[in-house]
Chain A
Amino acid sequence: MKIFIDPPNSLILFDLVERFGHEPLSVMATIQERVDNLEIDMPPMNVTLTDVKNGLKYAGIEVPSGIRGRLAVWGPLIDQAEAAIIMEDAPYSFGCVGCHRTNLLVDFLVRKRKLPTIEIDYPRTEEDARNMVIRVKEFLEGLK
């Protein structure tokens, strides 16, 4: 099954989803498509002007273009997804390399689609990690 992972560039989630026999929908694959086919050559942007317009499907015109640009790339992944794993409070999804408003909108879009979803916290202790991996494993095995 196609599993949307949030954060969509997470190594931990990408690996776990693949390890337990599903296809992770990640932002890296979308970026690869753009780099290989569209010849994105406008550093540091990863989107085209058309993408930002397409982002209107997922966020209103009053929403900052950074959020709309992100959703233009992530939104189609949510549309394709058959299930989702949301990892809350990942340290890199907030601050200079992340965008909390986008994260909230992504959570909203996933919940709106009523997909089978599991919400987990970013592991900070051994106990957290144990619970997280076991819950993810049970969730992914239950989807088969």
Chain B
Amino acid sequence: MSETATTWFIIFALGIGTFVLRFVFIGMIGDRELPPWILRHLRYTAVAVLPGLVAPLVLWPSGTGGQTDPARLVAALMTLAIGYLTKNVIYAILGGAATLYLGLYLVG
């Protein structure tokens, strides 16, 4: 396959596969009740996936070629603290971004 054809193959395979993942339960199970033990695990889906997704990006950021960076680390912790205390996503992002730029300014 040419490079372009491969790229489009990846786009559509990923798109269709992702749709199937999104549709599988709301589309096929419908309104049937799921057993309590499944629901109990599902309550923790987001907190089980997102921290694990983000932790390597914080410790080994792509912007520094994988080198741990104090400014990014402190910004990450600040974002988490603000998000936890205020329960407000936007305050957390703004606080985290401000911390990052301040840190990069001080260190750089």
**Real complex partners, A and B?**
no
